[in-house]
Structures are given as C-alpha cells and as structure tokens.
Chain A
Amino acid sequence: MSTIRLAVNGKPYTVDTDPQTSLLSVLREQLDLTGSKYGCGEGQCGACTVLIDGKAQRSCVTRVGAVSGKQITTIEGLASGEQLHPVQEAFLEAGAMQCGYCTSGMIMSAVALLKRNPAPKESEIIAFMDGNICRCGTYPRIVSAIQKAAKATKVAAAAAAAKGAGR
C-alpha cells in the first residue's frame, strides 16, 4: 500500500493503494469515475481509454503508480459544464453508437487523434482507431463522427481566429 497523488480531470486526488493496481480499477472503484470501461484487461479493446498528458492510453494496463503527477483526463472531464466537447457532439450527431459501451473509449481516442492530427484522412482515422473495438459494429458512423468533429473544430478555430483578428 502506498499513498498516490493523482490529477484527474483537473482535480487532485489522494488514494491509498498498491502502485501496481491498474489505473482503471482506481478510477472506477475508488474515484467512482465509471465512464471508463473494462472490456478485456489486456489493452486490446480500448474501452478503458483515457488521456494521460493528452495522449490516449489504455487504463486497464496502466499501473496507477506510473501516472502520479500526470494530467489524467477521463470521459467525465471532457465537457465544460453542460457544453459538450465537439467530439461528443459529433458522436450524437452521427448516431455513432448502439449499446454505447465502447463510446467513452472511442471518444477519448478520437480526442487524442484530433489533438495530434486536426484534419485526419479516413485512412489515418482507421489506422489510429483500430485498437478500439465496437462489437455492435458502428465503425463507419464513428469514422463519420470523427470527420464531423474535425470539421467543427476547424470551423470553430477559424471563427475564433477571425474574432481575434477583428479586435
């Protein structure tokens, strides 16, 4: 047992746990952040994806001791109040889910992708997202959602730039 300090969704937490425990278990069981899901326990399905310092990582194979002091973002921390993140909006708009169990992991992966590559080609989306499984088979809708989000972000950025230039 150790005391580990975590920064999740901009909030500081202190947890008493074995540093070898998976980040996923700590998020779900100790912090009650159940938006990140267990799907396979071996980093194969992406349902547990969170952002660590902005990069997509599988929290089921990430030891909690290894992320102390890093910025962790989960699906719960993506929206600003009631204002959804453009990727969340795009998933709703594209109807990119059925059971929704993969959705938080898909959204977190997509956010990481768009951070790295704001205008990905379809083949780049597929290559980046290939580690995330949707058993309901909504893949084409997820690709379309990511494209919509990329477009919306670009439009928003252009509008912000125009506004900035006008000042």
Chain B
Amino acid sequence: MNEKISARVALEPERYELTAAAPYRFDLDRREFFKFLGAGVLVVSALKPAMVAQESGGARQRRGESLPKEIDAWLHIGENGKVTVYTGKAEMGQNIRTSLSQAVAEELHVPIEKIEMVMGDTQLTPFDMGTFGSRTTPTMNLQLRKVAAAACDVLIGLAAAQLKVDRQRLVASDGKVTDPQTKRSLEYAELTKGTLLTASLPAEDPLIPATKWKVVGQSTPKVDGREFVTGRHRYPSDQKLPDMLYGKVLRPPSFGATLLSVDTQKAEQMGAAVVHDGNFVGVAAASTESATAAIAAIHAEWKSEAQSSSKELFEYLRKNAVAGKDPSGDGDRFDVGNVDQALGSADHRLQQTYTVSYIAHTPLEPRAALAKWDGDNLAVWTGTQRPFGVRGQLAEAFRIPEDRVRVLMPDTGSGYGGKHTGETAIEAARLARAAKRPVKLVWTREEEFTWAYFRPAGVIDVTSGVRNDGTITAWEFHNYNSGSAGIRTYYEIPNQRVVFHEVDSPLRQGSYRALAATANHFARESQMDEMAHAVKMDPLEFRLKNLKDERLRAVFQAAAKQFGWGKSKTAGQGFGMGGGYEKLGNIATFAEVNVDRKSGDVKVVRVVSAFECGAIVNPDNLRNQIEGSNVQGLGGALFEAIEFENGKILNGRMSQYRVPRFSDVPVLETVLLDRKDLPSAGAGECPMIGLAPAIANAIFDAVGVRLRSLPLVPDGLKTS
C-alpha cells in the first residue's frame, strides 16, 4: 500500500499505450447483468483467447483464473425501444458520447434520442484498454457500427417472421421495420417484446458507405449539452454518497522523500479519521475545510534527497540516457542507407539541437475519486482515461481480485493524456477503508501540478544533408527522453538514422496529448525550414519536392491556399508552416506572427490548419478539436514550462504557470478535407503537432531569429 503511493513510478511515456494488449479477464457475473437488462435484443461478442494478455503497467496476471469465460454485451434494445450501448471508452470532452451515438443511430436506423451510452463502467461495459491514442474513432466507432448493423439485422429477421414475408423486401428506418409493398411496419419496441434474444457479432458486416451516411458525417450537437450548460452534469469531483467524508493526503515536501516521524494526535482530536500506513498519511473528515485543517495539524518530519533542477535539465537528459539500453531492435531505431557517407558528400550539412520542456496537462478538473467499500467489494467513481487500468491498480494495491473492484467513470473535466493512472482512486479507497464510510478526495490544483505526471522533456539532435537542388540526402535524428511517437520522417530521404534514447527522467512523466509527436515534429519541421533557407528555396516548395505522400501533400497545399502563402509581408510580420502525419491523420498548419522587436512581444495573429482524417464523422466537432488543439498547443509552443529544483515544483499554481487565455487566441481558420473513400480516424491529437514549428518558422521569417527550444518565448523574444 505505502509503496504504491510513495513510489516514483517512472511511467513509460507512450510505449505502454502502443503495445498494451487486453488484460486477463475474470468471470464476472454476467448472468446478473443479463437479468438486469431484461427482455429485448442483445448484441454480444465472445472474446478470443488470443486477446488474453497482460496489460503492461497493470496488475500481474494470475494464471488459472483468467480464461475468457464471458461474453461482452455491446448493445441492448429494450422492450420500450430504448437502445443502450456499452463501451469502455471514456468521455472527457472529445465528444465521443455524441460521435458514437451517431454511429449507432446510422446503422441501427434509430433516432439518436433513443440511444443511451453507458461508458467506462468496468462492471457494465466490455473491457477497454483506455481512451488514448486517437483510437475511439478508428476502432470503437467502427465496432459500434458493426454492432448496430448486427442488431438491425436481427430486427429485420424478427419482422420478416412476424409479417411472414421475405426479409429482403423489408426496410429499417426511424426505429421501425417497414414492408414498402404493404406499407405495414413494426416498431423496434414491438419486435423486441418477450424473451431476451442474443445475437453474436459477425466478423464482417456490410456497413453503410460514407457516401450514403445520413447521421454520421453530420454536425450533431453534443447529445447531453443541456446537462453542461445547466450545471446538472455530475463530474467525478461532484459525486456524492450518503454519509460521505472528504479526504485529504499529507504530501511530502519533495519527490521521493521518506517519512521519518509523524504526530497525528491533534488531527485525531479534531475528529478526523487518520490513516498512517508507511509513507502514506491521510485524513477523512466531514468537510474539505475540516480535512484540510486536520492535515495542517499533523506534524511530520521527512528526509529529502538532493535532486536535479530544470536549469540543468537538458544536460541531464543527454547524460542520463539509460546505460546498457541499446535501443536497436525494439523499434526505437531505424536505419536505412549510409547516413555518414551521405552527410559527408552533401552540398549543405546542418547540425542543430532542439529541446522541449516538461509541461503540465492542467486539466481544469483535477483528479478526483469517490470510494466506497461494501465488505471486500470496492466501488470507485473517478476521472480516468483507463477505468480498467485503474481497476487493476486498485486490485493490486488492496490485494483483492479484480472482480471485487468496480470503477465508474462519470464524464470527466478533460484529461489530455494526463489521467491514465489511479493515484487518487487508491488514496480515496485507502481512506474509505479506514473511515468505514465513503470518502471523496479531490486533488487541489497544487497537488495536480505536483503529484500527477508531466509531458516528457526532451533533447533532439538533428543532422541533415541536402543537395543544392533541394534534395535531402541524409537525415540523422536522435531523441533523448521525449519519446518515439512521430519520430520517423515522412520526407523521402535515402539515408537515415533515427534513434530514440530512453532516459532516467528526473520527473515523473507520462502521456500527453499527441505524445512526442509534438517534439519530433517541432524538430523535424524546423530543420526542414533551415534546410530550405540553406538552399534558398521557398519552404513550401522545398517540402513538396521531398514529399511523395499524397494525403500530406494535399493538406500542405490546401493550407497554403487558404493562408495565401507567398503574399508580401510588413515589418515585424512573419509567416511559417509545419505539418505532418500522426495517429492516421494529416495536418498542415500555417502561422502568421507579429514580433515587436522593441518590446520583444510575439503575437500569433492567425493560424490556418488543413486537416484530413478520412471520412469525417462530425464536421463541427472536428473543427472544435482542431481549434482546441491549436489553442492548447499555443501554451506549449510559446510559454508553458515546469520549473523544478530539488524534488520541488517551483511554479505549481495557476497563478504561476501560464496557460493560454482568451487574449492569446489568434484568428483560427480550419480547412477540412473529407475523404469519404477512406476509413475515419481520430482527431484529438494530430492537429496539434504542426503549430509549434509553424510559429517558430514564422518568428524566423519575421526577425531572422531561429528559436530551437519549446517554449519559444516564455519571456518574450530577446533579439539582442
């Protein structure tokens, strides 16, 4: 228990996302579940044994109790015609509750109002690895379309039997099956009366092609938007149970500090339930105020150790690449041709170093959990992107089987990759166990800034060779620590060496929206600009000369057209671009900046993004995601950076850590390329990656100063 809480877990920044397989499965009591559902039509899928594997970072697999005995229920149509859809995906603002409802409405031919999505509840929904990596649209959207199509098939079959006609002549639409010849029709509710009918999910389904979509492809508004504008929606931090107490945890003065002694007498006298378990000290009391007062009354002595600081961060990262960890062979290294020879014979050889700082997700809703024990059964309502992962962490922390743990995920106040882990859930559960009452724990903003995890910092060394005619001949790229997402170049280069170097990170780090694609695209697209200038070519022409990928060329060309690339500029004005391919999406971002040389003020005036992610599921929501990526991306590009020293965060408050505000926002223009011939992909991450290099390149264009560190201008531009 105490180890679990105090350990500085060095989260792998992204690999556990990329390789994680479904974990083991317990024999949850699904019969109860089916009883609860009642009569109707149920669409299920049986899990294949091959999917039984350990989820890295999760609980250890216990052999012998993990066979997939159960089936997953995806969709249920009740006798009242109500459609309930079950998915382990989590809603945190991407609007997937809406886009997934659209998918079901389309294939089931049912009004969207009839659909209720049950999401991220480990007891009710099929297992899901987690909501990250822009996977919801390419996988879950497709899955639910298949599920809905299968259900529709069953309904047509039922109608054919009842009407005693050939099913081929029947048509499903608007929640009923109709025989166009006789005009007779049956509501889904009528068809599902009686016993529970179960349909398996077929491997292949003839789904409706994008060109014929009626619901998917439309700008359906947020299905439960009214709940949000009225304040009725209950986020994890708003959850409440009878007799609930409020929890608070005593935090060490620095990372990795050890508790030497603690005196909790005063806190106990104040009436708080106090837990001291190893390094973990926490209280539960009748209100947040009284819990905070009780924590303040605890006297504790800690032993801290000297640690590195943000001032020496980049030297530290370069020096502390994990020894003996040769990255070749595990996907972290890519070699083609002969880089050294090509660099030697290039007309121009450019060597540069780029850096990115640690930044904080700063989800507006901090981590929160409400835990309730019922004997040895634990239920936790918490804001997480990985409800099933958190279930594993809870089971491990309390040494109970996973089937005793239920994690529920009420739609949370954003995540951006920052809510993968279950610290708050574990802390609330530990306090609830001691207090013998439900306990809610909501992290303060300072706790969120300090005890969550950060977007990895990184150092990237790039050496490239280019011919006078603008052909790139050599590319050497070393990334230290920030990660390998988006590390490979999409430009046609015959000689390449691309290496990711793992580093023993000085801060706890983990996933962040777009992962290392932001850092890697920043370095790559900046270097592209530098090479274009070296050979005196237009940066757009230079990119297109070295780029064959048609989808990527299309977004660059579309954004250039909208932006008016090539137009003349005034003093202090600068134009730049960046773009790339990530998570099955293609982005090109063009930025216009204005630099006031005297004051050093850098204003991003206008940003044009062209994005293509296959067939568009919801155009307005897609625009919303792209705009949001650009606004959030402004922070990491211009001014966000975590400062730390000796195991302490120095700017861990909203008043000290600047995030983008209304006044920072440029004019945002978005061009959507709808490829109805291609599968739909996600859009939560990719649109972010082109922004930082576009701004850096625009600053260079404005004043001739090349900035190679993110954030670019935390204190304005120093040109002297």
Contacts and interface: CB of A to CB of B under 8 A. Distances in A.
The number of chain A residues touching the other chain, given as a range, is 35 or more
A150 B644 CA distance: 45
Contacts of A91: 225, 229
A25 interface: yes
Given A38-B366, A42-B653, A75-B230, A29 B246 contact: yes
B364 interface: yes
B222 A95 contact: yes
B567 interface: no
Interface in A63-85: 74-76, 78-79, 84
Which of A32, A44, A136, A142 has the most chain B CB atoms closer than 10 A to its own CB? A136
B38 interface: no
Interface in B196-227: 219, 221-222, 225-226
Contact of A133 (B234, B364, B412, B446): B364
Nearest to A77: B231
B92 interface: yes
A45 B449 CA distance: 14
B94 A98 contact: yes
Contacts of B654: 39-40, 42, 44-45, 133
B231 A104 contact: yes
Nearest to A84: B229
Contact of B364 (A25, A37, A129, A142): A37
A21 to B, nearest CB: 5
Interface in B339-377: 362-366
Contact of B655 (A39, A44, A79, A126): A44
Interface stretch (B324-332, B522-530, B597-605, B624-632): B624-632
A151 B230 CA distance: 21
A100 B654 CA distance: 19
B364 A39 contact: yes
Interface residues of B, number: 58
Nearest to A78: B230
Which of B246, B411, B414 has the most chain A CB atoms closer than 10 A to its own CB? B414
Nearest to A98: B93
Interface stretch (B498-506, B577-585, B657-665): B657-665
A102 interface: yes
A10 interface: no
A58 to B, nearest CB: 11
Contacts of B546: none
A130 interface: yes
B94 to A, nearest CB: 7
Interface stretch (B161-169, B235-243, B267-275, B392-400): B235-243
B117 to A, nearest CB: 16
A139 B662 contact: yes
A88 B661 contact: no
Majority DSSP secondary structure for residues of A touching B: loop
A126 B272 CA distance: 45
Interface string A22-45: 100100111011111111111011
Which of A40, A44, A129 has the most chain B CB atoms closer than 10 A to its own CB? A40
A22 to B, nearest CB: 8
A29 B288 contact: yes
Contacts of B445: 39-42
A92 interface: yes
Contacts of B362: 135
A127 interface: yes
Contacts of B542: none
B413 interface: yes
A107 B229 contact: yes
A86 to B, nearest CB: 11
A74 B289 CA distance: 21
Contact of A95 (B233, B621, B630): B621
Given A37-B364, A42-B655, A76-B231, A137 B93 contact: no
Contact of B414 (A18, A45, A136, A143): A136
B34 interface: no
A138 B655 contact: no
B668 interface: yes
B287 interface: yes
A134 interface: yes
Contacts of B668: 140
B627 A35 contact: no
Given A37-B365, A40-B653, A100-B93, A133 B624 contact: no
B228 interface: yes
Interface string B402-434: 000000000111101000000000000000000
A57 interface: no
A25 B221 contact: no
Nearest to B231: A35
A112 to B, nearest CB: 15
A126 B237 contact: no
Contacts of A137: 627-632, 660, 665
B264 interface: no
A147 interface: no
A144 B631 CA distance: 16
A99 B231 contact: no
B261 interface: no
B586 interface: no
Contacts of B628: 98, 136-138
Contacts of B95: 98
A59 interface: no
Contacts of B92: 99
B231 A25 contact: no
B662 A101 contact: no
Interface in B538-572: none
Interface in A105-124: 107
Contacts of A4: none
A47 interface: yes
B230 A79 contact: yes
B230 A35 contact: yes
B468 interface: no
A140 B665 contact: yes
A141 interface: yes
B442 interface: yes
Contacts of B411: 99-100
B444 interface: yes
Contacts of A37: 235, 237, 364-365, 413
Contacts of B219: 95
B620 interface: yes
Contacts of A143: 662
B311 interface: no
B183 interface: no
Interface string B234-271: 11011010000010000000000000000000000000
Contact of B662 (A38, A44, A92, A129): A129
Interface in B630-678: 630-632, 653-655, 659-663, 665, 668
Given A44-B654, A139-B631, 11 more contacts: A30-B287, A32-B240, A37-B413, A92-B221, A98-B625, A99-B364, A99-B365, A126-B662, A135-B632, A140-B627, A141-B627
Interface of B: 92-95, 219, 221-222, 225-226, 228-235, 237-238, 240, 246, 287-289, 362-366, 411-414, 416, 442, 444-446, 620-621, 624-625, 627-632, 653-655, 659-663, 665, 668
The 7 closest A-B pairs by CB, nearest first: A35-B231, A137-B631, A99-B93, A101-B413, A75-B231, A98-B93, A100-B228
26 contacts: A17-B289, A21-B287, A37-B235, A37-B413, A38-B442, A41-B444, A76-B232, A78-B230, A92-B222, A99-B363, A99-B365, A100-B93, A101-B364, A101-B365, A101-B413, A104-B228, A107-B229, A131-B661, A133-B659, A134-B364, A134-B631, A135-B362, A136-B93, A136-B414, A136-B631, A141-B627
